[in-house]
Structure 1
Amino acid sequence: MSPLPVPRAEAVVDLAAIRHNVRRLAEHCGVAMMTVVKADGYGHGMVEVARAAREAGSAWLGVATIDEALALRAAGDTGRVLCWLTVPGEDHDAAITADVDVTAYSLAELAEVEAAVTRTGTPARLQLKIDTGLSRGGSTWDDWPALVEAARAGEVAGHWWVTGIWTHPASSDEPDDPANDSQEQVFRDALAVAEAAGLQPEVRHLANSAAAILRPSARFDLVRCGIASYGLDPAPGHTPDLGLVPAMTARATLAMVKDVAAGAGVSYGHTWVADRATTLGLVPVGYADGVPRHASNVASVGIAGRQRPVRGRVCMDQLVVDLDGDRPEPGTDVVLFGTGRDGAPTAQDWAEAAGTISYEIVTRFGGTRVTRTHVDSEAPA
């Protein structure tokens, strides 16, 4: 069977946009940059994004799991990598041997790291996380003094270097939320406790993308930029224009065009009924490919220079759009979301249509039926 001239469905990722975004964020923040590449680079391809971020000067990479960190090492990355999400029994041996910075939230995690150090004979690079109000991962305030004392004791014993202390904001995308001031103050207090215990970390970090852009006091020694590195707005309605460029364009190939009469119901449940004779286009992607079903009858796609509204429910494998009497040829390119420069929707548009955030739109789009293609718009022709 001959391959299709273009993929049926595709996520096209411009690595030049990643480099551009990382550079712009570093210029804006003025401190060291950690590019967060967890969850397969937010759906953009972890290894490829990591290489582009390094090329743009990112001193650190951030991932959630040890497996992700080890995949970066296997791909040849030798720079600083931080991981932060483990469960009891994780393979700290492999992380320590691979020179990955690991994070501890508790005395139990410290004990696991110490056991791994004993087995491998290799001191660990260790960071400590304090929960300052997100009520997610990290040490509680009550447990913090004991954690930093134990971390210092392990450092003196040669088990590890405490390379960082950090936390994560809850409401940085809402800059007027008083939680931002509260969390920053708790973090400063936690740093003071750690300093009193004798710890002198290499980096102190609080800011995610929104805080990095909007809150200079939260930048400390390092900022962790995830979604902004991919060119998407971390705080819609609040973020200044930094010239960030969305790196992913989600596209498909128009499968079919058909005429329907007024009164025709479209897709499951006939949640949209044509109020006039029109033409419909069949787009071969659906919720199995990460297209949010919640965007049914609200979102649009770009076809032939115009936004075409989704009609009826998004199905598992396909969706239907209203072509308003136009008849583009089957095989015409369909842009679900992209940079917005060509008038097509953006990931933020889809997020608003689905009642979610752009993180979810780009991270979910893909799967076994969607080809991911990396391009570099800065490369010589």
Structure 2
Amino acid sequence: MTSGARAEIVVDLAAIRHNVRRLREIVGSAVSTGSTTEDGSTTKMMTVVKADGYGHGVHEVARAAREAGADWLGVATIDEAVAVRDGGDSGPVLCWLTVPGEDWDAAITRGIDVSAYSLAELAEIETAARHLATTARVQLKIDTGLSRGGCLPQDWPALTAEARAAESRGHVRITGLWSHLACSDEPEHHANDAQERVFREALDVAERAGLRPEVRHLANSAAAVLRPSAHFDLVRCGIASYGLDPAPGVTRDLGLVPAMTVRARFSMVKRVTAGSSVSYGHTWTASADTTMGLVPIGYAEGLPRLASNKIDAWYDDHRRPVRGIICMDQFMVDLGDDHAEPGDRVEVFGTGHDGAPTAQDWAEAAGTINYEIVTRLGGRLRRIHVDSEGSGA
């Protein structure tokens, strides 16, 4: 561990690069079996780096993804997009979550692609671009059945017609048409076919309106690996870029490597006697004398309290069960009769080496998804970046 660290998140940038390359291989293999774009070109890769790179560090992840061949970066908000651009990235960046009155100027002047879901949003973007005497890069999103963000199908003809009119006025360029799948991690779900059908119909409407976008995209990580028909010109890979399975229990071994490891040092090691109960509520009681290690992180750092008594940590090449309730600042692990010392390193989760716990294990213990486990981490954890390929950090 880093000298003096109590607890830390370690992100291996080599794993990020590996995962982006691997996803490009998977998508490329799908292209070779019939998922080519209309002009026969290779499907492009977007690495999604929203939410501070899913908790991995947006600037470091963005650089690693570009080094591995990511054509686009994706974020949610304009603030995130500006941070990526001002951090030195000069390639295509898309953002997609805004509210009325956003600072459109910040995105437009930096050449960031923004998304429009409605006529009102498109009008705001065009007004900002007109005042700047420039052309805004805009992508239109259609709601194909997620019933979240995006233009409803009945409003799509009007939005695409107005978008073409805005193009003719010179202050807007429609660079993309896109949507988002609701059930791509369930490949047999009927919603996948339905959404893809609506998306293809929407593309036809846009083409008849005269729009000629650079990219059309529908697939997220799960669809990128499971649904070649949804690849179109670009796939958006978020969680898979960080080495986590986008469809646990469905996908084959994808060859991805988790990039994040969370580790700490024992604050205290103590022997407890049979009959001793541990942590708030006394939800676990020792059936025999045992040694307990105190790990100095808890739900303030983002660990899910719901995983209490259901998950393991890793110490001395073995899984060690978490005993009792996970507290705000700390939790206890059962070491049995093994010897340990305060200051010894314990791995909370990581790559799964040798059977060690993973973010997916924590997700299952807490009844959630691996996205939430890695993205919510922070608090008092120190985050460091390493590079197991030896090319710097």
Q: Distance in 2 between matches of 1:27 and 1:48?
A: 22
Give the alignment partner of residue 52 of structure 2, picking from 14, 24, 40: 40
In structure 2, the residue matched to 1:115 is: 127
2:19, 2:2 → 1: CA distance? Answer: 33
Specify the code of the residue in structure 2 equivalent to 1:13: V
Number of the residue aligned with 1:136: 148
AA at the equivalent of 2:284: W
Q: Corresponding residue for 1:207? A: 219
Aligned to 1:303: 315
What is the CA distance between 1:343 and its match in structure 2?
2.7
Which residue of 357, 364, 372 corresponds with 2:383? Answer: 372
- Number of the residue aligned with 1:21: 19
Q: Separation in 2 of the partners of 1:66 and 1:342? A: 41
Letter in 2 for 1:378: E
Q: Give the CA deviation at 1:180.
A: 0.4
- 1:26 and 1:233 mapped to 2: Cα distance? 15
Deviation (angstroms), 1:238 = 1.1
Whether 1:52 and 2:64 are equivalent positions in the alignment is yes
Q: What does residue range 227-242 of structure 1 map to in structure 2 within 5 Å?
A: 227-242=239-254
- 2:267 is aligned, of 255, 261, 271, to 255
**Structure 2 stretches lacking a partner, 5+ long:** 29-42
Contact residue 29 and residue 216 of structure 1 kept, 8 A:
yes
1:12 maps to a residue whose letter is V
CA deviation map 1:27-56 (0-9, x unaligned): 110220000000000000001000000000
Aligned to 2:33: none
SS in 1 for 2:293: strand
Measured in 2, the distance between the counterparts of 1:155 and 1:119 equals: 15
Indicate if the aligned counterparts of 1:290 and 1:366 stay in contact, CA closer than 8 A: yes
Name the SS for the 1:310 alignment partner: strand
User: CA shift at 1:277, angstroms?
Assistant: 1.1
Identity of aligned residues (%): 70
Measured after TM superposition, the shift of residue 255 of structure 1 is: 1.1
One-letter identity of the residue aligned with 1:159: H
What does residue 106 of structure 2 align with? Answer: 94
Classify the secondary structure of the residue corresponding to 1:356: coil
Deviation of 1:216 after TM superposition, in Å, equals 0.4
Give the alignment's Cα RMSD to 1 decimal: 1.2
Question: Which string of whole-angstrom CA distances, capped at 9 and with x for unpartnered residues, describes residues 84-137 of structure 1?
Answer: 000010000110000000000000101110111111111000100000000000
Q: What residue in structure 2 maps to residue 169 of structure 1?
A: 181
**Pairwise CA distance, 1:379:** 1.3
Q: Return the offset for 1:195.
A: 0.5
> Which of 176, 190, 196 is residue 178 of structure 1 equivalent to?
190
Q: Secondary structure at the match of 1:359?
A: helix
Cα distance in 2 between the residues matched to 1:204 and 1:290: 36
Once the two structures are superposed, residues 314-361 of structure 1 have per-residue CA deviations (whole angstroms, 9 ceiling, x without a partner) of 000000111112121111111111001133200000000000000001
Instruction: Report whether the alignment pairs 1:85 with 2:101.
Output: no
CA contact (8 A) 1:302 1:343 kept: no
Equivalent residue number for residue 8 of structure 2: 10
Question: Aligned partners of 1:4, 1:309: CA distance in 2, in Å?
Answer: 25
Secondary structure class of the residue paired with 2:177: strand
Q: Distance in 1 between matches of 2:3 and 2:157?
A: 61
| TM-score w.r.t. length of structure 1 | 0.98
What is the distance in 1 between the residues matched to 2:156 and 2:174? Answer: 14
The more displaced of 323-332 and 101-110 is: 323-332
Find the residue that maps to 1:211 and give its secondary structure.
Answer: helix
Residue of 299, 307, 312 corresponding to 2:324: 312
Q: 1:327, 1:265 → 2: CA distance?
A: 21
What 5-or-longer segments of structure 1 have no aligned partner?
Answer: none
Q: Which amino acid aligns with 2:381?
A: V
One-letter code of the match for 2:382? T
Give the distance between the partners of 1:28 and 1:306, measured in 2 at CA.
33
Distance 1:343 1:307 in 2: 8
1:350/1:158 CA distance change after superposition, 3 Å: same
